Amino acid sequence: MTATASGPDTASEVLAAAHARGLSHVSVGCYDWHGRLRAKQLHVRKLPGAFARGLAMTSAIFATDSAERPIENGPFQNPAGGYRDADLVFDAAIWRDFPLEAGGEGVVVLGQLGGEFARFCPRALLGAELARYAALGYTVRGAFELEFHLLRETPASLRRKVPARLEIVTELERMYSLVDHSAAATFFDALRALAERVGVGVDSLHAEFTALLEAALAAERGPAIADNAVLFKTAAKALARRHGLLASFMAKLSNQHETAGGHLNLSLERDGEAVFGVDSTGGATPALAHFIGGLQRHTPELMLLHCPYVNSFKRFAGESFAPRTNRWGIDNKTCAYRVVESGADGVRIELRLPGADVNPALCLLAALVAGRRGLERQLAPSAPATGNAWAAPEPTMPAFPGGFARAIAEFHRSQLAREALGTPFVEAFTQSREWQLEQLDRTVTDWELRQYGECV
């Protein structure tokens, strides 16, 4: 079951669900910069007060990198700041079933940070951008397609291995194989059932390449586009562990594995009607053209929100289906922005740039900020690409950053990022990414050991 409401109504619904299931506690939380759910278990007697006044949530959810190491150069590792708590607020909160809790009938409530810490909260920042679209008369509709690898590993074994020795689920070695799908039916069935219980629609689920699965999530409107992607990733990881497996959404595991994309499908509606369209000549109608124009002009400077890690940029090296150039086209999968005519659902843009490692809220936010600028300023796109867009740079548009360091620099100096997201977020997020580079520079890799260990 999924519920969306605000204030006391949501609190009453959660309380009723908890009492009906005999729960003493429910999970409440929000997601961090990595798109991970950070939650605490709250006694049901505390729920009414939490919904009315908010709940203390440590600001340390922004203080660590993806491996839980403290980001020593960041603003949240500052004793002078007193390590103060943030306020977790549940205005317009959503709650979902989460049957992997103790006892099997848990409830999770998603909120966002309020007050001064709203400036750093992905869901709060996304909510502010969606409000700007509402002021323009638009409703945002969309969904993520998430690719992930299924491995016969554990978090502990993963830390001990070099990438080339990762053990895949051999039942899923072949692309779109009905035989392989049947062999893995137990996991497939359990994942679809779990997603449905959590309130996430899965339109399709299949194996693509070597132990790489793809789940196309059902379209939603507003913040649920990101919420569902976060919840699906959480559910897939938790379920995989219960099956003695590991679900990895890392963008590139190794040279032996296909890279994992996290494509974002987007469309806009006004008064319930789709506004993106393709005209009789095959060209984009004005709203679609201007949105794409905004993506082309501004995605390069916001790319850090689509590719947030050192590893993210390895999707673009070697053989991969990741886009290389800042181009768009009609049903052309070599483009960064693929326009898809989808029958009754109208026309949508498939943003093929992000990897599966993306924070869904920040990815969606970046796309909406760029698209809105295109709509407001009626920015013209380039001509649509035909044929191989991988090998054909677009001379009239800025190029994508050529690596992680450059993406950090472009995001840091982006005036649009500071206008739409605020300087505090831009500064803090930039510092957290610079921290990654510093750690990588200090780390001896397995490649270096093989290359130099006895050879120099």
Q: Cα-atom radius of gyration of the chain, to the nearest Å?
A: 22
- pLDDT band of residue 1 (cuts 50, 70, 90) is very low
Of the listed ranges 91-100, 246-255, 379-388, 393-402, the one predicted with least confidence: 91-100
Output the pTM of the full model.
Answer: 0.94
As to burial, measured by CB atoms within 10 angstroms (0-12 exposed, 13-18 middle, 19+ buried), residue 391 is exposed
Between 304 and 394, the more confident residue is 304
Q: Which residue reads 């693509």 in tokens?
A: 208
- pLDDT band of residue 102 (cuts 50, 70, 90) is low
How far apart are alpha carbons 146 and 253 in whole angstroms? 15
- pLDDT band of residue 2 (cuts 50, 70, 90) is very low
382 pLDDT above the threshold of 60? yes
How far apart are alpha carbons 382 and 388 in whole angstroms? 15
- Domains, the chain, with CATH or none: 2-118 (3.10.20.70), 133-421 (3.30.590.10)
> Which positions ≥6 away from 228 have C-beta within 8 Å?
143, 144, 199, 200, 201, 217, 218, 220
Contact (Cβ atoms closer than 8 angstroms) between residue 48 and residue 15: yes
How far apart are alpha carbons 89 and 446 in whole angstroms? 44
What is the per-residue pLDDT across 181-198, written as a single tens digit (0 to 9) for each? 777 788 989 999 999 999
As to burial, measured by CB atoms within 10 angstroms (0-12 exposed, 13-18 middle, 19+ buried), residue 155 is exposed
305 pLDDT above the threshold of 70? yes
Backbone angles phi, psi at 172, to 5 degrees: -120, 45
What is the per-residue pLDDT across 124-175, written as a single tens digit (0 to 9) for each? 999 999 999 999 999 999 999 999 999 999 999 988 888 888 888 878 777 7
How far apart are alpha carbons 4 and 82 in whole angstroms? 35
